[in-house]
Amino acid sequence: MILSRVVGTLTSTDKDPELAEYKILVVQPLSPEAEGDRFDLVDEGEELLAVDRVDAGEGDVVLVVKEGNSARQITGRPRVPLQAVVIGVVDRVDRLETARG
């Protein structure tokens, strides 16, 4: 799973019928960047389109699974053409003292 920030929403009416009922979010993957004693989550790489399963909103930091078998399990659809699913809203990320570089 990866950490991402929800940056937008997608509107799409003409799509694969297996995707018809899902809300699709634009998510920006994040990566921790240390700066002295603190760290920030900064944008890393390209935006993805992910199906929302937790009612996430713009600005939320979320957990995104990027694997097809998980997507099939979560949706209960064995033939859904999907990998990325938002499966959690992140409240907080803590960093261990020993992880400080």
Partner 1 sequence: MHFARVLGSVVSTRKVEPLTGYRLLWVQPTDARGRDRGEPLVAVDTGQYGEGEWVYFVTSREASLPLRDPFCPVDAAVVGKIDRVDLAGEEPRRTPEALR
Residues that bind partner 1 (CB under 8 A): 7-16, 18-19, 24, 26, 46-50, 58-59, 68, 71, 79-84
CB 52, min distance to partner 1, A: 13
| Of residues 3 and 75, the one with the C-beta less far from partner 1 | 75
CB 56 within 8 A of CB 29: no
Structure tokens at 34: 């240390």
| Nearer to partner 1 (CB atom), residue 39 or residue 70 | 70
Closest separation in Å from C-beta 84 to partner 1: 6
CB of 100 to partner 1, least distance (A): 32
Say which residues have a Cβ less than 8 Å from residue 72's Cβ, sequence separation at least 6: 78, 79, 80, 82
19 Rama sector, left if φ>0, alpha if ψ -120 to 50, beta otherwise: alpha
Quote the CA–CA distance of 4 and 28 in Å, as a whole number. 5
**Closer residue to partner 1 (CB): 33 or 58:** 58
